[in-house]
C-alpha cells in the first residue's frame, strides 16, 4: 500500500511517514501543496494524508484540484477543531478528518479503513478458501494457523485480496508496494509472489503470463 | 397578564373610553331633555297666552292690583288684614304686549326661562305655591269668606274674575288638545284672585292653587312648575288671575328613558368597538417589540448573525431596532474576534503538541537505536520551544490586555540594545547571506529596556525572515521631533496593500504556511504594537510588494 503524506511541518511529516513505513506502507512525502498535488496526480496512491495548512497550495485547493482527476481517499489533518472546518473538509471531498494532536495508531487505523472502504470492503477480514486475512491486525492465517509474512509480503497479499477477481499488473503491484525512493528492480515483485506461494500455497495467486497476477474469486 | 404592556394599554384605553363616553352620553341626554322640556314649555306658554288673551277680553278693564315692594306672600297679607287694594288703577301694560314679548323682569325671566331652570324648579324661591300646601289651603273656603265677608270690595274686584261669564270657552283650534283620553293631553285651570276656580278644562286633574301674584310693578308673572309627572306653566296677569296650562310629561319621560337606553346601547357599542380597535392597535404596536424579543432571544454565542427585521427605521421602535442591531453587530464582531483568536491560539498550540505526541509515540512503539531516540527528543525539544515562545507571547499580550503588565522603566542608551539584538540575530541572517546594517545615533531614553529590546528583535527577525537571500536589513535610530525613532527597513517581498491593515492582528500571517515552517508564532507584530503603545509610542508600517518593508517606531524619550 502506498501512501502520500503532505505536511509542511518537517517534524510532523517525518513522524507520520516513519510510523506508516513501520506499518509496512510505502510512503511518499511532500512539504508543500504544489509538490504534493503533482505527486498525487502522477501516481495512484492508496491514500493521502493531507495537512490543511500548506504553503503554495493549501489543503482545500489541493482537494479541489485532486478531485478533478482522482478519487484517491484523503485523510485530512488539521489543528483546527471547529465544526465548520471539519464540515468544510468533508464537503470539499476529504474522506476522513483527524484533528491535531492525534495518536499515530489512530491515524494508521483510519488510513487502513480508508483503503479498505475504497476497495469496497467494509469488513476488516477477507476469507479466500482457507486463507484468512485480518487487515486490522495485519495477519494472515492458513487453515487456522497464523502464517508469518514480511511487511511487503503481507502488503502483496492484501493488495491482491482487495482486488479479488481483478487482474493486477506487475507495475501496479510495484507502484503500490514501493515508495518513490525505492529503486529496487521490478522483478522483486516476482520474488515476493514466490515467497507468498511458498507460505500460503501455490493455488492462491494465479499468474496471467505476460499480464500480471490475480487471486481468483471462489466460485 | 396584568403585567403585559399590551393588556395595560388595553385596560387604560377602555377606562378612558368609558369615561369619555359616559360624560358625553350624560351631556347629550340632559341637553336632549332640556330641549324637550323647552318645547313643552313653549307649547304650554303659547296656550296660556291664548287663554290669557281670551280672558282679558272677558274681564272688566280695571287697574291691576297694587303690590307693595317687598311683599313676601300675597295670600297671608291679603287674608290677614283684608284691606282693599289701593285704588289707583294702572293701565295693564301687558295688554299692549304681544304674546311673544317678554316682560321686563330680567331676574325673574332669567330664572323662569333659563333652559336648565325647569329641573331646578322645586328649589326655586320664585316658585312659591308648593304642593304641600295644596290641601290645607284650598282656595275654596277662602273664596267663601272673600265673597261673604268683604262686601266693600271695589267693584272691579268683586265683579271681576269671580263672575266671569261662562263662555270663555276654548279657541277652536285648541279644543281637541284638551280632549280625549290621551295621557299627555293638555289641561288648564284658571283661578281668579283668592283662588277661585273660574274655569278649567275637563281634562284637568286636581291642581293646587298656585297663588301667584303680579310682579312688583304690575308686571305679569310667568312661572313653571313640575308636580310629579305634570308640567305646568302659570301666567299671572291682571287681577292676579292665575292661568295654568299643563300636561302630563310621563310619555315624554318614557320617551326620554328610551332615548337614554338607546344612548347607552350606542355607547356600549362604541365602547366595544373601541375596545376591539384598541386591542388590534395595541397588538399592532406591540408586534415589533415581540419580534425584537424573539430575535434578541435567538441571538446567542452560537448564532450571532440574526438581526431584527428593519421595516421602518423612522419610528421610535425602528430606531430602537437600529440601535439593537448595532449592538448585535459589535457583539458579533467581538465574539468573532474572540473565537478567531481562540481558534488561532489553539491551532498554534496544537501543532507543536501534535509533533511531541507523534514523536513520543513513534519512539516508544518499539525498541530504537540511540540515534533514533535522539532524533525524537530533538523533535520534541523544537516543538516544546515553539510552544514556550507562543505561550510567553500569549501571556504577555494577555497581561497587557488586562493592564496588569508593569513596565520596568530605566534610563538607558539605546544603541547598545540594538547592537545586542543584531548580534543575537546574526545566526539567522548569515545562512541566507543577509546583511544587517546599522545607523545609530546616541539616544538616551527612559523605557522598559527588555521590552524595547523585544520590539527591536521582533522587527529584525521579521526583516530577516521575509527578506530575500543576499538581501539587506537596515536599522537606524535617531531623535526626531523629541521622540526616539527606530526605523527598520528590508529588501524583502513586501506586503500587499490589502494585507497591511491586518498585520498587527494576532496570528495574522501574510503567507500563512511559509512562516510556520520558519518558526514564527504569528504574534511578533502584535506584541511590538502592544509594547510600543504601552510606552505611549506609535508603530507604522509602509510597504511595497517586491520593494521591501519599512517599519517606523516612535517612542517618547521619557516614557
pLDDT tier for residue B282 given thresholds of 50, 70 and 90: confident
Residues B21-43: tens digit of each pLDDT: 999 999 999 999 999 989 988 98
Checking if the pLDDT of B55 tops 80, the result is no
Question: ipTM of the assembly?
Answer: 0.74
For residues A2 and A43, give the distance between their C-alpha atoms in angstroms, rounded to a whole number.
9
Q: What is the pLDDT of residue A200?
A: 83
Give the gap in angstroms from C-alpha B350 to the nearest C-alpha of chain A: 6
Q: What is the pLDDT of residue B400?
A: 86
Q: What is the pLDDT of residue B373?
A: 92
Q: What is the pLDDT of residue B21?
A: 92
Q: What is the pLDDT of residue B2?
A: 56
List A141's β-bridge partners, or say none.
A132, A146
Checking if the pLDDT of B189 tops 90, the result is no
What is the CA angle B211-B160-B237, rounded to 5?
Answer: 45
Q: What is the pLDDT of residue B173?
A: 65
Checking if the pLDDT of B128 tops 70, the result is no
Residues B474-521: tens digit of each pLDDT: 999 998 888 889 999 988 888 888 888 888 888 877 765 555 555 567
Checking if the pLDDT of B71 tops 60, the result is no
Mutate to test the interface with A, among B339, B343, B351, B365 (most CBs of A within 10 A): B351
Checking if the pLDDT of B258 tops 80, the result is yes
- Choose the closest CB to A15 out of B355, B366, B516: B355
Q: What is the pLDDT of residue A26?
A: 87
Mean pLDDT, residues A15-19 taken together: 91
Sequence-ordered list of residues with C-beta below 8 angstroms from that of A40, at least 6 positions apart, any chain: A4, A6, A48, A62, A66, A70, A72
Checking if the pLDDT of A93 tops 60, the result is yes
Could you identify the residue written with the cell 510556520?
Answer: B516
For residues B341 and B260, give the distance between their C-alpha atoms in angstroms, rounded to a whole number.
77
Phi, psi at B61, each rounded to 5°: -70, 140
SS (H, E, C) B264-318: HHHHHHHHHHHHHHHHHHHHHHHHHHHHHHHHHHHCCCCCCCCCCCCCCCCCHHH
Pairwise pLDDT comparison (B103 vs B261), residue with the higher score: B261
Chain B residue numbers with beta carbons less than 8 Å from the beta carbon of A20 are none
Inter-chain CB proximity A103 and B362 less than 8 Å: no
Q: What is the pLDDT of residue B377?
A: 92
Give me B209's grid cell.
Answer: 292653587
Chain A residue numbers with beta carbons less than 8 Å from the beta carbon of B379 are 11, 14-15
Runs of H (alpha helix) within A119-169 = 151-162
Q: What is the pLDDT of residue B98?
A: 45
Inter-chain CB proximity A11 and B512 less than 8 Å: no
pLDDT tier for residue B61 given thresholds of 50, 70 and 90: low
Q: What is the pLDDT of residue B134?
A: 38
Residue A85: closest C-alpha in chain B: B343
Mean pLDDT, residues B151-172 taken together: 49
Q: What is the pLDDT of residue B19?
A: 93
Sequence-ordered list of residues with C-beta below 8 angstroms from that of B114, at least 6 positions apart, any chain: none
Within an 8 Å CB–CB cutoff, is residue A104 touching chain B? Answer: yes
Mean pLDDT, residues A156-174 taken together: 84
Pairwise pLDDT comparison (B546 vs A30), residue with the higher score: A30
Chain B residue numbers with beta carbons less than 8 Å from the beta carbon of A15 are 355, 358-359, 361-362, 379
Mean pLDDT, residues B374-389 taken together: 90
Pairwise pLDDT comparison (B117 vs B463), residue with the higher score: B463
Inter-chain CB proximity B346 and A54 less than 8 Å: no
Chain B residue numbers with beta carbons less than 8 Å from the beta carbon of A19 are 358, 361-362, 365
Residue B382: closest C-alpha in chain A: A11
Inter-chain CB proximity A11 and B355 less than 8 Å: yes
Q: What is the pLDDT of residue B114?
A: 39
Residue B375: closest C-alpha in chain A: A11
List A2's β-bridge partners, or say none.
A26
Q: What is the pLDDT of residue B553?
A: 92
Closest CA to A78 of A138, A144, A8: A8
Query: Residue A134: in which H helix or E strand, if any?
Result: strand A131-134
pLDDT tier for residue B154 given thresholds of 50, 70 and 90: very low
For residues A30 and A7, give the distance between their C-alpha atoms in angstroms, rounded to a whole number.
7
Q: Is the dihedral of CA A112, A115, A118, A123 positive or negative?
A: negative
Pairwise pLDDT comparison (B260 vs B290), residue with the higher score: B260
Q: What is the pLDDT of residue B520?
A: 67
Mean pLDDT, residues B248-252 taken together: 85
User: What residue ranges define each of the domains in chain A, with the CATH number in brackets?
Assistant: 2-118 (3.40.50.2300), 125-214 (1.10.10.10)
Q: What is the pLDDT of residue B261?
A: 93
Closest CA to B463 of B432, B441, B505: B432
Pairwise pLDDT comparison (B339 vs B531), residue with the higher score: B531
Inter-chain CB proximity A102 and B354 less than 8 Å: yes
For residues B557 and B559, give the distance between their C-alpha atoms in angstroms, rounded to a whole number.
6
Checking if the pLDDT of A130 tops 90, the result is no
Mean pLDDT, residues A139-162 taken together: 85
The mean pLDDT of chain B is 76
Q: Residue A183 gets which letter from DSSP?
A: -
- Choose the closest CB to B382 out of A11, A53, A100: A11
Residue A105: closest C-alpha in chain B: B361
Closest CA to B119 of B217, B225, B193: B225
Within an 8 Å CB–CB cutoff, is residue A106 touching chain B? Answer: no
CB A193 within 8 A of CB A215: no
Residues A39/A40/A41/A46 CA torsion (nearest 10 deg): 130
Mean pLDDT, residues B434-438 taken together: 90
Chain A from 31 to 90: CB within 8 A of any B CB? 31-32, 53-56, 58, 78-82
For residues A170 and A155, give the distance between their C-alpha atoms in angstroms, rounded to a whole number.
14
Checking if the pLDDT of B165 tops 80, the result is no
CB B222 within 8 A of CB B235: yes
- 3-state class of B109 per DSSP? helix
Residues A50-61: tens digit of each pLDDT: 988 888 888 888
Q: What is the pLDDT of residue B260?
A: 92
Q: What is the pLDDT of residue B161?
A: 45
Provide the whole-model pTM: 0.54
Inter-chain CB proximity B355 and A12 less than 8 Å: yes
Q: What is the pLDDT of residue B110?
A: 37
User: What residue ranges define each of the domains in chain B, with the CATH number in brackets?
Assistant: 5-257 (no CATH), 316-399 (1.10.287.130), 407-556 (3.30.565.10)
Give the gap in angstroms from C-alpha B351 to the nearest C-alpha of chain A: 6
Phi, psi at A115, each rounded to 5°: -65, -45
Q: What is the largest CA-CA distance in chain A?
A: 53
Q: What is the pLDDT of residue B66?
A: 44
Mean pLDDT, residues A136-160 taken together: 85
Closest CA to B95 of B240, B219, B245: B219
pLDDT tier for residue B94 given thresholds of 50, 70 and 90: very low
Checking if the pLDDT of B192 tops 60, the result is yes
Could you identify the residue written with the cell 285704588?
Answer: B87
Mean pLDDT, residues B301-308 taken together: 76
Contacts 24+ apart (CB under 8 A), B145-153: B146/B193, B146/B194, B146/B196, B149/B82, B150/B82, B150/B84, B152/B84, B153/B84
Give me B21's grid cell.
Answer: 363616553
Q: What is the pLDDT of residue A47?
A: 92
Q: What is the pLDDT of residue B226?
A: 85
Q: What is the pLDDT of residue B307?
A: 80
| Cis peptide, bond prior to residue A101, ω within 30 of zero | yes
% chain A with pLDDT above 70 = 97
Give me A141's grid cell.
Answer: 492465517
Mean pLDDT, residues B301-314 taken together: 74
List A47's β-bridge partners, or say none.
A3
Going through B291-443 in order, the beta strands assigned E by DSSP cover 409-413, 435-440
Checking if the pLDDT of A66 tops 80, the result is yes
User: How many Cβ atoms are within 10 Å of A131's Cβ, its own excluded?
Assistant: 19
Inter-chain CB proximity B361 and A53 less than 8 Å: no
Q: How many CB pairs under 8 A join A and B?
A: 83
Query: Residue A207: in which H helix or E strand, if any?
Result: strand A206-208
For residues B132 and B129, give the distance between their C-alpha atoms in angstroms, rounded to a whole number.
8
Closest CA to B59 of B196, B182, B189, B164: B164
For residues B109 and B129, give the distance between their C-alpha atoms in angstroms, rounded to a whole number.
18
CB A75 within 8 A of CB A110: yes
- Choose the closest CB to A9 out of B347, B351, B514: B351
- 3-state class of B92 per DSSP? coil
For residues A192 and B293, give the distance between their C-alpha atoms in angstroms, rounded to a whole number.
73
Q: What is the pLDDT of residue B137?
A: 42
Checking if the pLDDT of B251 tops 50, the result is yes
Pairwise pLDDT comparison (B38 vs A87), residue with the higher score: B38
Residues A116-125: tens digit of each pLDDT: 888 777 778 8
Q: Residue B534 gets which letter from DSSP?
A: H
- Choose the closest CB to A55 out of B357, B359, B517: B517
Amino acid at each position: 500500500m502506498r501512501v502520500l503524506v503532505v505536511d509542511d511541518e518537517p517534524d510532523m511529516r517525518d513522524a507520520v511517514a516513519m510510523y506508516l513505513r513501520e506499518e509496512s506502507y510505502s510512503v511518499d512525502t511532500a512539504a508543500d501543496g504544489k509538490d504534493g498535488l503533482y505527486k498525487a496526480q502522477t501516481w495512484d496512491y492508496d491514500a493521502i494524508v493531507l495537512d490543511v495548512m500548506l504553503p503554495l497550495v493549501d489543503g482545500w485547493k489541493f482537494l479541489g484540484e485532486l478531485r478533478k482527476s482522482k478519487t484517491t481517499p484523503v485523510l485530512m489533518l488539521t489543528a483546527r477543531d471547529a465544526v465548520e472546518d471539519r464540515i468544510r473538509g468533508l464537503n470539499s471531498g476529504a474522506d476522513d478528518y483527524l484533528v491535531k494532536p492525534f495518536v499515530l495508531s489512530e491515524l494508521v487505523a483510519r488510513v487502513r479503513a480508508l483503503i479498505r472502504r475504497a476497495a469496497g470492503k467494509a469488513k476488516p477480514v477477507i476469507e479466500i478458501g482457507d486463507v484468512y486475512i485480518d487487515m486490522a491486525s495485519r495477519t494472515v492465517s492458513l487453515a487456522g494457523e497464523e502464517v508469518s509474512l514480511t511487511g511487503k509480503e503481507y502488503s502483496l497479499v492484501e493488495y491482491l485480496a482487495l482486488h479479488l477477481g481483478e487482474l493486477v499488473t506487475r507495475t501496479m503491484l510495484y507502484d503500490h508496494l514501493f515508495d518513490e525512493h525505492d529503486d529496487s528492480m521490478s522483478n522483486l515483485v516476482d520474488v515476493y509472489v514466490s515467497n507468498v506461494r511458498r507460505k500460503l500455497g501455490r493455488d492462491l495467486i494465479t499468474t496471467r503470463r505476460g499480464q500480471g497476477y490475480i487471486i481468483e474469486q471462489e466460485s | 397578564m396584568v403585567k403585559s404592556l399590551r393588556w395595560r394599554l388595553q385596560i387604560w384605553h377602555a377606562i378612558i373610553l368609558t369615561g369619555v363616553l359616559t360624560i358625553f352620553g350624560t351631556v347629550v341626554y340632559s341637553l336632549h331633555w332640556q330641549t324637550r322640556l323647552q318645547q313643552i314649555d313653549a307649547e304650554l306658554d303659547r296656550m296660556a297666552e291664548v287663554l290669557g288673551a281670551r280672558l282679558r277680553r272677558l274681564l272688566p278693564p280695571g287697574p291691576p292690583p297694587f303690590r307693595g315692594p317687598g311683599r313676601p306672600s300675597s295670600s297671608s297679607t291679603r287674608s290677614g288684614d283684608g284691606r282693599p287694594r289701593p285704588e289707583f288703577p294702572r293701565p295693564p301694560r301687558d295688554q299692549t304686549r304681544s304674546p311673544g314679548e317678554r316682560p321686563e323682569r330680567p331676574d325673574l325671566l332669567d330664572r323662569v326661562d333659563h333652559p336648565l331652570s325647569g329641573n331646578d324648579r322645586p328649589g326655586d324661591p320664585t316658585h312659591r305655591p308648593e304642593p304641600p300646601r295644596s290641601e290645607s289651603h284650598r282656595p275654596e273656603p277662602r273664596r267663601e269668606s272673600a265673597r261673604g265677608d268683604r262686601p266693600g270690595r271695589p267693584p272691579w274686584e268683586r265683579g271681576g274674575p269671580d263672575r266671569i261669564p261662562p263662555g270663555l270657552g276654548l279657541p277652536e283650534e285648541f279644543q281637541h288638545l284638551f280632549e280625549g283620553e290621551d295621557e299627555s293631553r293638555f289641561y288648564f285651570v284658571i283661578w281668579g284672585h283668592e283662588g277661585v276656580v273660574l274655569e278649567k278644562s275637563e281634562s284637568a286633574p286636581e291642581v293646587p292653587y298656585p297663588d301667584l301674584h303680579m310682579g312688583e310693578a304690575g308686571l305679569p308673572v310667568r312661572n313653571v312648575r313640575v308636580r310629579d309627572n305634570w308640567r305646568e306653566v302659570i301666567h299671572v296677569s291682571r287681577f292676579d288671575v292665575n292661568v295654568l296650562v299643563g300636561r302630563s310629561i310621563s310619555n315624554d319621560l318614557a320617551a326620554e328613558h328610551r332615548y337614554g337606553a338607546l344612548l347607552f346601547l350606542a355607547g356600549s357599542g362604541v365602547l366595544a368597538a373601541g375596545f376591539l380597535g384598541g386591542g388590534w392597535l395595541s397588538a399592532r404596536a406591540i408586534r415589533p417589540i415581540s419580534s425584537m424579543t424573539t430575535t434578541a432571544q435567538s441571538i446567542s454565542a452560537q448564532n450571532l448573525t440574526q438581526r431584527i427585521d428593519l421595516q421602518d427605521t423612522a419610528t421610535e421602535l425602528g430606531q430602537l431596532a437600529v440601535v439593537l442591531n448595532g449592538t448585535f453587530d459589535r457583539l458579533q464582531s467581538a465574539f468573532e474576534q474572540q473565537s478567531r483568536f481562540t481558534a488561532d491560539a489553539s491551532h498554534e498550540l496544537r501543532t507543536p503538541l501534535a509533533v511531541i505526541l507523534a514523536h513520543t509515540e513513534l519512539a516508544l512503539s518499539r525498541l530504537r537505536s540511540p540515534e533514533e531516540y535522539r532524533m525524537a527528543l530533538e523533535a520534541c525539544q523544537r516543538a516544546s520551544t515553539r510552544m514556550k515562545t507562543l505561550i510567553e507571547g500569549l501571556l504577555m499580550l494577555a497581561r497587557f490586555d488586562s493592564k496588569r503588565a508593569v513596565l520596568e522603566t530605566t534610563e538607558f542608551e539605546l544603541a547598545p540594545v540594538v547592537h545586542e539584538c543584531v548580534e543575537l540575530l546574526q545566526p539567522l541572517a548569515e545562512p541566507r547571506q543577509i546583511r544587517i546594517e546599522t545607523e545609530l545615533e546616541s539616544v538616551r531614553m527612559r523605557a522598559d529596556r527588555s521590552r524595547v529590546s523585544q520590539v527591536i528583535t521582533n522587527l529584525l527577525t521579521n526583516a530577516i525572515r521575509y527578506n530575500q537571500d543576499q538581501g539587506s536589513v537596515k536599522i537606524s535610530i535617531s531623535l526626531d521631533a523629541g521622540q526616539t525613532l527606530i526605523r527598520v527597513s528590508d529588501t524583502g517581498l513586501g506586503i500587499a496593500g490589502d494585507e497591511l491593515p491586518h498585520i498587527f492582528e494576532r496570528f495574522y500571517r501574510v503567507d500563512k504556511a511559509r512562516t510556520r515552517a520558519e518558526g514564527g508564532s504569528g504574534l511578533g507584530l502584535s506584541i511590538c504594537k502592544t509594547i510600543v503603545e504601552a510606552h505611549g509610542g506609535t508603530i507604522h508600517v509602509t510597504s511595497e510588494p517586491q520593494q521591501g518593508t519599512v517599519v517606523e517606531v516612535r517612542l517618547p524619550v521619557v516614557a
